[in-house]
Amino acid sequence: MLKLFHEHPEFNEFSLFDTTTGRMSLLAAEDFNALLPGSLPEENGEYIQHAKWPGMELFFGAKPSTHTRFPRRIYFQITRSCNLECPACFIKAHRAGTHVPVNAVMQMISFLSRHGLAEVRLTGGEPTLHPNFIEILHAFQAAGVYVSVGTNGVINQRTLEALAEARGYWLICSLDGNKTTHNSYRGDTYDTILGNLRFLRERNPLLRIRLTTVLTRQNMDQMWHLGQVCREIGAESITIIPLRPQVRDPAIKSSMVTAREFRKVIETMVEVRAAMGVRFTTTIETDYKEQIERDPVFTKRSSCAAGREGTNLDYDEATKTFQVYGCSYSPASDLAASPEIRKPFLAGTFGLDEPEKFLTIWRDDLRWTLFRDLSLKSAACRECVYLHHNLCTGSCPIQNVDYDSLQLNKDVFEQLKKQVAATAEWYCYHQVTDEKGF
């Protein structure tokens, strides 16, 4: 299925998503028009318009400049259950965590596909623990939504067999360094994960696999090792995500790399790529932009995609509501955090049988101020030469917020706005290239 999107130029006016490959292509107007079986239909004032032909769907209508008309990718936390409970994890999932009721998931699938969702990232917790995980994967596929699965790779045999049989999805598996380092974060799981990846590769030579590594001081010199693993299991790419400070065990925070160390890792990955052909992605595009893979769905133009091109969809068992928030690193993902701190990051909530409220939430810019109001970024960031040359997206707008300093008896939102405007991203690219010059 091909999905065509006509959007505001900020998000590439004309784009094409192929639900078989899971990739978005940016098109010139004439190529876009040439693909349409007829001319671009007239707009009738509805927020989302939809036209359908065999093998092709067109989504058009409103063209907001602050966000895509509908999220392109949703990170769907289908479960709060996790078999690992990693100390570095921003999600407070645990072994007894609850799953989103399958009926509510099915209703959401129907709603999301009708409004033009390109990709769903099934995540959690550990998504493969959801008792209906495989059914959910197939239901999204049947609805024409591309599925990626964010997993820790510790998967029971039954689910592994089913994953080996499934086709046309993307397996995104965490691996946090060599055996010793990985196991120090994720229990004694390194061999199990590699065994499972080898099994899947053997049963499905075409399976699209990506490794994800959370970058820390402990694994920053293990990029060659990770490159070898990618090669061995035939991974399409590896993503290097610098450790974010929203962790379960505060002691882990001291493992965050500096901007300079991050830069060094990027340089090494460029060498790994040249020597081994291993492609990689990371959070900030740099002067190595040409060697770093683009996100296959998000444009990330002017800022991180959170709340602009994608969102999280989570579930709170206590209130039996879906929770919509831009960033899973923000306090919104911590269901037990104080409501005053969560509120500025939480775009909205809705009941399990009212999926249409999702669109009301997504459309309303006021609910997403911290992500969509780019004037809130620090002056240093807004004026940065790298941002203007589209070498850096400005990355994470909320990275340096000091949550402990917030006074809950005062207006938290105002305090947050001031903090965001005063600080730049921890891994600010400018900081490490300054001395080199542009």
- List of residues contacting ligand SAM (CB under 6 A): 82, 88-91, 123-124, 126, 150-152, 174, 212, 214, 241, 243-244, 246-247
For ligand SAM, give the closer residue by CB, 90 or 322.
90
Least separation, in Å, of the C-beta of 328 and ligand SAM? Answer: 7
Least separation, in Å, of the C-beta of 135 and ligand SAM? Answer: 19
Using DSSP's 3-state secondary structure scheme, residue 279 falls into strand
For ligand SAM, give the closer residue by CB, 49 or 123.
123
For 54-163, strand residue ranges (E) read 56-61, 73-77, 119-123, 146-151
Least separation, in Å, of the C-beta of 210 and ligand SAM? Answer: 10
For ligand SAM, give the closer residue by CB, 57 or 126.
126
Q: 43: closest CA among 60, 55, 29, 31? A: 60
Least separation, in Å, of the C-beta of 153 and ligand SAM? Answer: 8
For ligand SAM, give the closer residue by CB, 27 or 173.
173
Q: Name the helix (H) or strand (E) containing 172.
A: strand 169-174
Kind of pairing between the strands at 146-151 and 169-174: parallel
Write down the H helix ranges in 41-186.
102-114, 133-142, 157-165, 179-186
Least separation, in Å, of the C-beta of 189 and ligand SAM? Answer: 10
128: amino acid identity, one letter: T
For ligand SAM, give the closer residue by CB, 81 or 286.
81
For 267-345, strand residue ranges (E) read 279-282, 310-316, 321-325
Least separation, in Å, of the C-beta of 194 and ligand SAM? Answer: 15
Under 8 Å between Cβ of 173 and 193? yes
Phi and psi angles of residue 74, each rounded to the nearest 5 degrees, phi first: -120, 130
For ligand SAM, give the closer residue by CB, 89 or 226.
89
| Dihedral in degrees, nearest 10, Cα atoms 68, 70, 74, 78 | 160
Least separation, in Å, of the C-beta of 172 and ligand SAM? Answer: 7
For ligand SAM, give the closer residue by CB, 154 or 361.
154
The Cα–Cα gap between 71 and 97 comes to 27
